[in-house]
Amino acid sequence: MTTMMSASTSITQPRPSSGPETFFRKRIEKNKSTVFRTNVPPTFPLFTRVNPNVIAVLDVKSFSHLFDMDVVEKADTLVGDFMPSVSYTGGMRVCAYLDTSEPKHSKIKAFAMDILKRSSATWFPTVLSELDSMWSTIDTEFSSSSSASYFVPLQQCIFSFLSQCLVGADPAASPTIAKHGYAMLDLWLGLMLLPTIKIGFLQPLEEIFLHSFAYPSFLVSGGYNKLLKFVEEEGREEVVERGVTEFGLTRDEAVHNVLFVLGFNAYGGFSIFFPSLLGILGSDVTVQEKLREEARAKGGSTLSFNSVKEMELVQSFVYETLRLNPPVPTQYGRARKDFLLSSHDSVFEIKKGELLCGYQPLVMRDPMVFDEPEKFVFDRFTKEKGSELVRYLYWSNGPQTGSPSESNKQCPAKDYVTVTASLFVAHLLRRYDSIACNSSGSITALVKAK
């Protein structure tokens, strides 16, 4: 990589932070640039075949090259140069690891978009009913204790509505899955991704133990196989069948991809995103007040897709949460050819095969694009200026104004995720007058709507 013009720092004052954020901030300062070479885990000594060298892209302009499929290739780059063993996914490379140049990517992406489209009729009522039962569980716990942990009920709720919406399989039909399905997914996700996850409190041991060898899949294969059986036996027959007849996949490819979409993409994403929403909402009474007013005034008698879409403040709050807490913080892409990469003020020569690494929490605080970038401004994405900014919101691996398709790698559920999050917030604020959460995942105050 050769700098053709002098680069300058474009991220504002560091705020107290840890892990990757400090890591990248320090190097931005040292390099006086938001584009530079560095190393990321997992690394030496046991990952001998993983190349830790990356080119960090940490401002909006340089990061956006990751969406340009003419210059960037995405084969096996989901979590960097390291790729979890395919034994975690039925011995095959599932959609998220495929590049757009691979014909199978088009087939599976179209299949995933079809699953979402066909689930749209049941999506809202199912989410609402699962939210009601989750909050009832939390109410019961709260009635006999001064605080209630929301993690388990929330994960069960997410697992249940996604299983029903995406595959037509109700966990309630299988006692083991109803009780342990979400935890089986947690374990599967955790072990598969452990070498790439930063778990701050274990430092420095985490580098040695967690980032230094891949965990054997047999530890989780029991749970994975039970979930597979659940999808095959309880899921709507036509979900997997359409993968075979309409999208040209083998039955095995269809089943393993459905489970990956359900367990990794969807469950994994919402399990990270919803706690962020709750944590932020539960710590700001003023924001609650403003959003509550809107959710009650515009929601009608029952929340619907259309009524939620009308809630400008709720939607902006969801976008702002995604801006400052992108659930998938790191994105990678490999240069498909030699090309010139631009930041706001410099141009860099990138060589074919080099790996670009974007850390979104910093990119989304680019001061050239966002005013007061470090601050949570809940109505940032409202009015004319706010609607302009939406195109710089990148949580879905593409702009929020973009269109997921077979020829790009943007999350096909881009709009489902934001509208479901708005529904989550509006439903909560109609059910309760106020809520307080602490940083360790507990609700410490909950006042029912009068």
Q: What angle do CA 441, 444, 448 make, to 5 degrees?
A: 115
Q: Nearest distance from residue 131's CB to ligand HEM, in Å?
A: 15
Q: Nearest distance from residue 108's CB to ligand HEM, in Å?
A: 7
Task: Return d(Cα 37, Cα 92) in angstroms, integer.
Answer: 32
Instruction: Give the footprint of ligand HEM on this chain (CB under 6 A).
Output: 74, 78, 95-96, 109, 112, 115-116, 261, 265-266, 269-270, 273, 327-328, 331, 396-397, 409, 411-413, 416-417
Q: Nearest distance from residue 112's CB to ligand HEM, in Å?
A: 4
- Which CB atom, from 46 or from 83, has the smaller least distance to ligand HEM? 83
| 199 within 8 A of 44, measured Cβ to Cβ | no
Q: Nearest distance from residue 76's CB to ligand HEM, in Å?
A: 11
- Which CB atom, from 356 or from 446, has the smaller least distance to ligand HEM? 356
> Which residue(s) pair with 2 in the sheet?
349
What would the two tokens of residue 260 be? 């990956």
Q: Nearest distance from residue 418's CB to ligand HEM, in Å?
A: 9
- Which CB atom, from 160 or from 397, has the smaller least distance to ligand HEM? 397
- Which CB atom, from 103 or from 300, has the smaller least distance to ligand HEM? 103
The annotation status of 165 as a binding-site residue, yes or no, is no
- Which CB atom, from 95 or from 189, has the smaller least distance to ligand HEM? 95
Pairing of strands 432-437, 442-448: antiparallel
> Which residue(s) pair with 53 in the sheet?
39
Q: Nearest distance from residue 123's CB to ligand HEM, in Å?
A: 10
- Which CB atom, from 189 or from 411, has the smaller least distance to ligand HEM? 411
Q: Nearest distance from residue 305's CB to ligand HEM, in Å?
A: 15
Max Cα-Cα span within the chain? 65
Q: Nearest distance from residue 61's CB to ligand HEM, in Å?
A: 18
The CA radius of gyration of the chain, in Å to the nearest whole number, is 22
Which residue has the CB atom at the shortest distance from ligand HEM?
269
Measured distance between the N- and C-terminal CA atoms of the chain, rounded to whole angstroms: 62
- Which CB atom, from 107 or from 409, has the smaller least distance to ligand HEM? 409
- Which CB atom, from 115 or from 249, has the smaller least distance to ligand HEM? 115
Binding residue numbers for heme: 411
The binding site consists of 411
